Structure 1
Amino acid sequence: MAEVSRSGFPIGQPPAPVGGFPGMGGTTAEVPPSTPPAPAPQTAPVTATVPQAPSRKRSGDTWWERVRFEVTDAVTSGALSERLIRASSAVEAPITTGRRIIVLGTAGGAATTTVAALLAKLLGSIRQEPVIAVDATDHSGNLLRYLGSSQAALLTELMQQFRTQSVRTLPDAVKHAASCGSQVFAAGRADVPALADAPVALQEWTDVSSTLSRFMAVTVVDGGASPLSRHAAALLGTAHAVVLVSPPGNPEAAKLASIQESLGKSFPDVHQISVVVRSRQNHEAALSDGMLPYDRHLASGSSLQLSRLGSRTRIAATELTGKALMAANRA
């Protein structure tokens, strides 16, 4: 008798069949030979990309200038803040609809386009009425880029529309203009070559400006840096006010006075406003009448954002806008 283990199975008996079906007795299942695993597919190494932080646009004031402005305003019992409030009230004053302001520079690089963009932005943000900025220079300007528009809005298409189609509503008037926010529209001359001998025709500009004035509270025109040219004469023929932009310096001041005298004789009904734009940092912190201080945000050449202007720049630009608007309203 076979010896039985404690588990109940006889010792020395063959193992039970593995994997067989009933009735197959002691047959065992055949185990297929093992095959080596397939090699893992080769994949390109994954390189972790770190997202680049967006570049911050520089504000108009440094932190030290902001602190100095706050201290000065506190010491003078809010005189600077009160000055900004008065300037904004002048921009909000009632006007005759359809005022036209021409911005002309006494020299290239005098920040004529910057001043035109500032006027349009401030008018649109403070008055909340339709305003259009027109790049009517004799070359391809940057007015639309300064106003933050990436849309192509050609002045030639606007003129063609006004000649061939009836304009009855505001959407008709801005059909070929770019929207720059805050009820500000713009049209440019990106398709016009830099030829001072091809000025805007007086009659054509008269028709365009009068049509725009039917729907726009103010039309701001960037006229370029040739205030005594035939091109500027056509623009001034329909203007209510002209803003002359000049760089600082005694020679430039003498040139500005000469241009003012010439324009006064040729266009006595057009009221003149002048502004000197500083092109580099000046340690003088006081606000000067007729002076636009250096501003890091404006000097960067990026699209204009009023919230990033320096405190003194905002005050000076708002005062300039109010003066230009009041001068145009007297015409």
Structure 2
Amino acid sequence: MAEQPRSGFPLGQPGTDSPVLQTALRTRTRTTPVGGFPGMGTAASPPPSSRPAAAPTAGLATAPHKKSPSKKSGDTWWERVRFEVTDAVTSGALSERLIRASSAVEAPITTGRRIVVLGTAGGAATTTVASLLAKLMGSIRQEPVMAVDATDHSGNLLRCLGASQAAPLTTLMRQFRTQPVRTLPDAVKNAASCGNQVFAAGRPDVPAFADAPLGLQEWTDVSSTLSRFMAVTIVDGGASPLSRHAAALLETAHAVVLVSPPGSVEAAKLASIQGSLAETFPDVHQVPVVVRSRQNHEAASSDGVLSYDRHLASSSGLQLRKLGSRTRIAATELTGKALMAANRA
């Protein structure tokens, strides 16, 4: 039976930890769906200032800011000044761009979208992009989002998301096979909380204890169970997009985000992979993105490109408020594109 569209999982206020978004939201009014079931109407959203503050999430208590090389803000002082001046001179064009991108992420979706993130090469920042998608969806939509490290090797998705506990994927899958899953608390009982309604399950950090590649049937079972309770499931599929392991993940996917390093050789490889996947999985919509390294750093952001960001390069737990201004805009636009691609499936 085809999946029927919902009026949306409960839509929430966009994350307001970005100074640019805080300013822009002061004059913004909109309507959002109420509830999460078909047929429910819309109601005007109250101004952000009138909303009650979100309850603190366990495991994410903020600590006093300390200067640390591993937790740098994405922008330098000079880049922040330049961004503010540019935004002022262009009459808030960058702020408006962020609002439009956030609106795309807020769009109503059909039930349980599944997005697989695959890299065209090792070290292409596949895990970083998967973390960004999950964090931004959880922050902007404020709905249940699951991030899964389903690579065929050990991974660090949980560390990137700042997970509050270890959460082996094998434990989650075993629970789904042996115990009834009737509610959201059942679905996340063996998942790690990452704040903003983002949950995660992952591979061990030690390669010797990494799980075996996932089979098609077992992944179909777990992904369909997750989609009953999660607005979106983000899957880090690793850097082997044409492998049998990736094929199992793509069989149940609505969209795939292909992450590629910069360069003409890598661009040709990306095009080849896109062609192969389009032929094998014609119903899975593709969203390519190039992640630049420091050597390829450019101040201006381009469509489908994530420029170098000091915070993302630090390999510490991802904090959206520390992203560079242009990185935040580009990442939000990417998230909106991925969600819209998944919604078309």
TM superposition score normalised by structure 1:
0.82
Residue 194 (structure 1) shift? 6.7
Name the residue aligned to 1:60. 74
Match of 2:125 in 1: 111
Shift of 1:97: 2.0
The one-letter code matched in structure 2 to 1:218 is V
- Output one character per residue of 1:223-254: Cα deviation in whole Å (capped at 9) or x when no partner: 00000000000000000000000000000000
1:4 match: none
Shift of 1:324: 0.1
Mapped pair 1:299 → 2:299: no
What does residue 232 of structure 2 align with? 218
Contact 2:114 2:255 in 1 (8 A): yes
Tell me which of 255, 269, 292 is aligned to 1:241.
255
5 Å-filtered alignment, 1:1-331, equals 54-56=66-68, 57-190=71-204, 193=207, 198-280=212-294, 282=296, 284-331=298-345
**Aligned in 2, Cα 1:283/1:303: closer, same or farther, shift over 3 Å?**
closer
Shift of 1:281: 5.4
Hey, what's the Cα distance between the residues in 1 that align with 2:293 and 2:208?
Answer: 24
Structure whose alpha-carbon radius of gyration is higher: 1
Q: For residue 270 of structure 1, what is the amino acid of its counterpart?
A: V
Partner of 1:30 in structure 2? none
Q: Write the letter of the residue equivalent to 2:316.
A: S
> Unaligned stretches of 5+ in structure 1?
1-52
Distance between the aligned counterparts of 2:305 and 2:110, measured in 1? Answer: 27
How far, CA to CA, are the matches of 1:98 and 1:278 in structure 2?
31
How far does residue 285 in structure 1 lie from its aligned partner after superposition? 2.2
Distance 1:98 1:283, change over 3 A: closer
After superposition, give the CA deviation of every residue in 1:163-215 in whole Å (9 maximum; x if it has no partner): 01110000000011000000000000117847999421100000000000000
Q: Distance in 1 between matches of 2:208 and 2:157?
A: 15
SS in 1 for 2:294: coil
Question: For residues 96 and 66 of structure 1, what CA distance do their matches in structure 2 show?
Answer: 38
Instruction: Note the residue ranges of structure 2 that are not aligned, 5 or more in a row.
Output: 1-64
Q: CA deviation at 1:102?
A: 0.1
In 1, Cα distance between equivalents of 2:135 and 2:304: 19
Q: CA RMSD in A?
A: 1.7
Instruction: Using the TM superposition, name which of 186-195 and 106-115 deviates more.
Output: 186-195
SS at match of 1:325: helix
